[in-house]
Amino acid sequence: MTPFGWLQVLLYLVLLLLLVKPLGAYMARVYQGEHTLLDPVVQPVERLAYRLAGVRPGDEMDWKTYAVALLLFNVLGLVMVYVLQRLQGLLPLNPQGFGAVTPDSSWNTAVSFATNTNWQGYGGEVTMSNLTQMLGLTVQNFVSAAAGMAVLVALIRGLTRHTTKAIGNFWVDLTRSTLYILLPLALVLALVLVSQGVVQTFGDYRTVTLLQPAVDAQGHQVTTQVLPLGPVASQVTIKQLGTNGGGFFNVNSAHPFENPTPLSNLVEMLSILLIPAALCYTFGCMVGDTRQGWALLAAMTVIFVIVLAVAAPAEQRGNPAFAGLGIDQSASSRQPGGNMEGKEARFGIADSALWAVATTAASNGSVNAMHDSFMPLGGLAAMWLMQLGEIVYGGVGSGLYGMLAFVIVAVFVAGLMVGRTPEYLGKKIEAYEMKMASLMILIPVFLVLMGTAVAVASAAGRAAVLNPGAHGFSEVLYAFSSAGNNNGSAFAGLGANTPFYNIALGVAMFFARYWLAIPALAIAGSLARKKKAPESAGTLPTHGVLFIGWLIGVIIIVGALSFLPALALGPIVERLMVGA
C-alpha cells in the first residue's frame, strides 16, 4: 500500500483511540447511574418511559429473568418487522407503492434486524417503503444494539458483584443505552452526514435527464434516471453506531446518497468501531481497574492491525493474472494502481480495505466496496475476522462479551498449565463458566460449518451459486460466516434471496445471537453468586503484556483450528490458483 494509504490508516486509528477514553468514561457513568451532562434533558423522558411501561427501575433481576425479558422483547420486535413487511402495501409512507415482501424474505429480514445482524437479501430502494425503513428497520437498529449493550453490562455486574443473584434490570439497561448513548450520538452524526450530502427526505423518487444518454443491454437508448430518495441519514447513523450495517440502498455505503464524500467516509468508519472500542474502557471503569479494559482493547487492536496488514497490501498489489497482459497496476499520480475492481474511485484502495476490515471486525456488515471483488487474501481477511466470533471490537456489547468468553478460556487454560487456580477479577473460573464460554465459542463455528455444508451439498443451495469452483464455495462460506456471527456483510456473488437461503440464514442468525447471549447471562449469574477472592501471589495478572499475548494466541489458535480446512477449500486455494 502507498505511504499516503498507510497515513490514512494511522489517522483513523489515532482518532479512534483518542475517542475511547472520553466516551468509555461517559458510558460507565450512564450504567452506574451517576450524573451526566444529559440528565436535565433525558431524565424526564426516561422516567416517563418507565411510568408508561410499568417498569420499576429499582427492581433488579436474576440472570434467568433477565434472559426472558431479552428474548420476549426481541421476539416482539421480530414479529413487528415481519408484519410491517407483509402489510407494507396497505400502509402509508409508501410513495413508490411497493407491495408486500415475500414471506421467506420477510422472515429473513425480521430476524436479521432483530438480532443486530442486518443481512439484506433484497434491494432496499426497490423493496422497502419509507415506513418499513423507519418504523421497522431503523427502530430495530437502535433497540437490537441496546439489547447487546444491556447483556454486556449484566455480565460486567456479574464480575463486580458477589454473593447475590441480581445482575440488573434489563428494561433499565435497554432504556439507558438508547436514550443516553445511541440517540444523542445518532443525532450528532446525522447532522454531520446531512451536511455532507446524505439524503434525508420524505419526498418521492425523482426522474432526471441524463447529461449524456446511455444504451441499455437491449440496445435501447436511455435518457433519464430515477434517483431513489428517502429518510436515509437517520438510518445510516444508527446502522454505523449500532454496528448494524443494513443500508437504505442495495449497494450500502458505496452509494453516493449514503456516503458522498471522503469526510462522510471517515466519520462513518469511525462510527463503526467507536462504541465497541470505548466499551473496553467502560468495562475497566466498572470493574475498578482500567488496565483490564486497556488490555482487552490492546488485544483487539493488535489482531485488527495484523489482519489489515494482510488485506490492504493484497489489494494494492493487484491481480497477478494481469501481469502477463502488460497491464500496469502500480500506483502513480495518474492512477491508484492495484485491484480497483468493485471499489469506488473516490475512496480508493486504502479506505476500501480499511472499511472492509473494520466492518467485519465489528459485527457491522456495511460496505463501501464489493467484497466479492477483493483479491483472495483480502476476502480471506474479512471472512476470518467474522469467523473469530466478531470479538475484535465486535458488535456493541456483543463483541466484548464474546471477547470475555475467550478471556475465561485463556485464564482457565493458563491456570491449568502453571498450576494456579483459574481466576479473573477475583472470581474463580470453574467448570460451569467454562461450559458456558465453550458454548459461546463453538455455537457460531457449528452454525457456519454446518450451514455451509448443507448449502453446498443440496441442489437448492448450489442453484444460487453464480460462480463455479473455489470462489463460489467462498461465497457460500462467507454468507454463513456472516449470518452465523451476526455480521450481515456479503460477498454479493451469491443469489441469496431464495427461499433456501432466506430460511437457512435466518435460522443461523437467530441462534447465533441468542444462544450466545443466554450463556453470557448464565456466566453473569454464576459469577455474581460467588465470593470475591483477594489477590495473592498465585493470582494470574490479566492486564500485562504477557496475558495480552496469551489471549491473542488463544483466539488465533481457536480460529485457525476451527476454520482452516474450510478456508483451504475457498480463498486459500483460490489464491494459489490466481498466483499460478
**pLDDT tens profile 54-75:** 999 999 999 999 999 999 999 9
Domain span at 112: 3-209+224-579
Q: How many CA atoms lie within 13 A of 8 on its CB side?
A: 22
Joined together, the cell numbers standing for residue 92 give: 402509508
Range 276-282 average pLDDT: 97
- Is position 567 within any domain? yes
CB-count exposure of residue 420 (10 Å: 0-12, 13-18, 19+): middle
- Is position 217 within any domain? no
CA angle 222, 228, 229 (to 5 degrees): 150
* Percentage, residues of the chain above pLDDT 90: 83
CA distance 256 to 261: 8
**pLDDT tens profile 142-179:** 999 999 999 999 999 999 999 999 999 999 999 999 99
Higher pLDDT, 189 or 247: 189
pLDDT on residue 323 = 75
- Is position 215 within any domain? no
- Is position 170 within any domain? yes
pLDDT on residue 330 = 84
CB-count exposure of residue 48 (10 Å: 0-12, 13-18, 19+): exposed
Range 255-275 average pLDDT: 95
Higher pLDDT, 70 or 534: 70
- Is position 218 within any domain? no
Go through the chain and tell me how many residues it has: 580
The 3-state DSSP class for residue 464 equals coil
Mean pLDDT of the chain: 93
- Who's near 492: CB < 8 A, 6+ residues apart? 370, 371, 372
Are residues 401 and 389 in contact, defined by beta-carbon separation less than 8 angstroms?
Answer: no
- Is position 13 within any domain? yes
**pLDDT tens profile 80-96:** 999 999 999 999 999 88
Question: What amino acid occupies position 250?
Answer: N
Backbone φ, ψ for residue 211 (5° rounding)? -65, -30
CA angle 447, 363, 49 (to 5 degrees): 110
- Is position 162 within any domain? yes
Range 346-359 average pLDDT: 94
pLDDT grade for 246, boundaries at 50, 70 and 90: confident
CA distance 278 to 365: 19
**pLDDT tens profile 362-410:** 989 899 999 999 999 999 999 999 999 999 999 999 999 999 999 999 9
Are residues 402 and 391 in contact, defined by beta-carbon separation less than 8 angstroms?
Answer: yes
CA distance 22 to 50: 28
**Is pLDDT above 90 for 468?**
no
- Who's near 509: CB < 8 A, 6+ residues apart? 111, 112, 115, 117, 119, 483, 484, 486
First to last CA, the chain: 22
Joined together, the cell numbers standing for residue 479 give: 454468507
CA distance 196 to 37: 28
Weakest-pLDDT range from 102-111, 294-303, 527-536: 527-536
DSSP 573: H
CA distance 297 to 282: 11
Backbone φ, ψ for residue 21 (5° rounding)? -65, -50
Return the HEC string of 123-187.
Answer: CHHHCCCHHHHHHHHHHHHHHHHHHHHHHHHHHHHHHHCCCCCCCCCHHHHHHHHHHHHHHHHHH
Joined together, the cell numbers standing for residue 278 give: 470505548
pLDDT on residue 580 = 57
- Is position 507 within any domain? yes
Backbone φ, ψ for residue 477 (5° rounding)? -60, -40
Q: Name the most confidently modeled range: 112-126, 419-433, 458-472, 514-528.
A: 514-528
The 3-state DSSP class for residue 80 equals helix
pLDDT on residue 513 = 94
CA distance 59 to 57: 6
Are residues 268 and 262 in contact, defined by beta-carbon separation less than 8 angstroms?
Answer: no
Joined together, the cell numbers standing for residue 317 give: 498489489
What's this model's pTM, rounded to 2 decimal places?
A: 0.94
Q: Name the most confidently modeled range: 13-27, 210-224, 481-495.
A: 13-27
Q: Estimate the crossing angle of helix 469-483 against helix 499-529, to 10 degrees.
A: 40
**pLDDT tens profile 83-140:** 999 999 999 999 889 999 999 999 999 999 999 999 998 988 999 999 999 999 999 9
pLDDT grade for 539, boundaries at 50, 70 and 90: confident
**Is pLDDT above 90 for 235?**
yes
How many folded domains does the chain comprise?
Answer: 1
